[in-house]
Amino acid sequence: MRRFLTFILLLIPLAAHSQERDSLAFERPLRERDRRADSLTLARDEHFKWTTLIAPTALLGLGFTGVWLPQWKDNINSPVREWTASWRGDHRFHADDYFQYVPAGVNLVLGFAVPHERPFRERVAVTATAWITLGILVNTLKYTVCEQRPSSDIRNSFPSGHTATAFMGAELMRREYGPWWGLGAYAVATTVAFLRVYNDRHWVNDILGGAAIGILSANVGYWMLPLERRLFRWDKPSSNHAAVVALPYYYNKNYGLSLAVVF
C-alpha cells in the first residue's frame, strides 16, 4: 500500500507538468488564432464600404446647396454671419489655426499610451494618404467653385480647409481608437468649424463641405492601407526595415515637401 501511495504521489507532479505543457501548447494556437482573427477584422474594416459614403455625401450635398441656392444664402449664411458678428464684435479667436491639427497629431502619438488598432508606421501611412487626398480635393474645389469669402474678395471659400483637416483627424481617431476618443476628436473638429464662421472666414456651407472632405479623406487613407502594406512589404513577417516616403504638397498657395519615415 505504501509503495502504491508513493507511486501515486510521484505521478501527481508529472501529470501536472504534462497538463501545463498541454495547456500551453493549446494556448499558443489560440493566441495565434486570435491574432489572425484580429487581422481579418482589420482587413474587413479597411475594405471599401458604400455606407461610409453616406455622411460625406450628405454633408457635401448641403455644402453645394449653399453655393448654388440663393435661398440658402439668404436664410442661413447671411443670418448666421450677422449673428456671429454681433456676438464677436472686434474680438476674434484664432485658435482654429492651431486646433485644426490636434486630432491628426493626437492620432499619431496616442497609440504609445492607449490600446490601438494598428502600429505606428501604419498610422503614419494612413494619415499621410488622407492628407494628400484632402489637399487634392480641397484645392480642386476651391479653385473650381470659386466661392467668394465673406470677409474679402478672394474666391476660394468653399470648402473650408481648416475644417477638412480637423474632421479628417477626428475620423482617423474614431476608427483607430474607438467611439469615445472619436467623440472628443469630433468635438475639437466642430469647434474649429464654428470658429471659421465666428472669425468671418467662411460661410456655413463651407464648413459642411470641409467636414465632408475630411471624413472622406480619412476613409480613403484606410482603403489604401492594404495596398501600402504590400508596397512596403509590411505584410511579410520578416519586414523590419524602415521606409522613407517623400511627397510634394500644395495648400493655400504654399508649396512644400512632406517627408515621413516609417519603421
pLDDT, tens digit, for every residue of 25-40? 333 333 434 444 444 4
Residue 85 belongs to what H/E stretch? helix 78-88
Q: Mean pLDDT lowest for which of 67-71, 88-92, 238-242?
A: 238-242
Contact predicate 139/249, CB 8 Å: no
Residues 109-128 have a mean pLDDT of 93
As assigned by CATH, the class of the 50-233 domain is mainly alpha
Range 47-56 contact pairs with CB under 8 angstroms and sequence separation of 24 or more: 47/223, 47/226, 48/223, 52/219, 53/216, 55/212, 55/215, 56/212, 56/213, 56/215, 56/216, 56/219
Instruction: Report residue 49's pLDDT band, with 50, 70 and 90 as the boundaries.
Output: confident
Show me where the domains of the chain are located.
50-233
Q: What is the pLDDT of residue 35?
A: 41
Instruction: Report residue 84's pLDDT band, with 50, 70 and 90 as the boundaries.
Output: very high
pTM, entire model: 0.76
Instruction: Report residue 253's pLDDT band, with 50, 70 and 90 as the boundaries.
Output: low
Number of C-beta neighbours around residue 66 at 10 A: 21
Asked if pLDDT for residue 24 goes beyond 70, the answer is: no
pLDDT, tens digit, for every residue of 212-245? 999 999 999 999 999 999 998 887 765 454 555 5
Q: What is the mean pLDDT of the chain?
A: 81
Residue linked to cell 435661398: 71
pLDDT, tens digit, for every residue of 139-164? 999 999 999 999 999 999 999 999 99
Angle, alpha carbons 83-87-93 (nearest 5°):
115
Instruction: Report residue 137's pLDDT band, with 50, 70 and 90 as the boundaries.
Output: very high
Tell me which of 40 and 107 has the higher pLDDT.
Answer: 107
Tell me which of 102 and 248 has the higher pLDDT.
Answer: 102
The single-letter DSSP state of residue 118 is S
Q: What is the pLDDT of residue 7?
A: 33
* Among 16, 42, 15, CA closest to 235: 42
pLDDT, tens digit, for every residue of 174-213? 999 999 999 999 999 999 999 999 999 999 999 999 999 9
Q: How large a percentage of the chain has pLDDT more than 90?
A: 64
Number of C-beta neighbours around residue 87 at 10 A: 9
Q: What is the pLDDT of residue 237?
A: 66
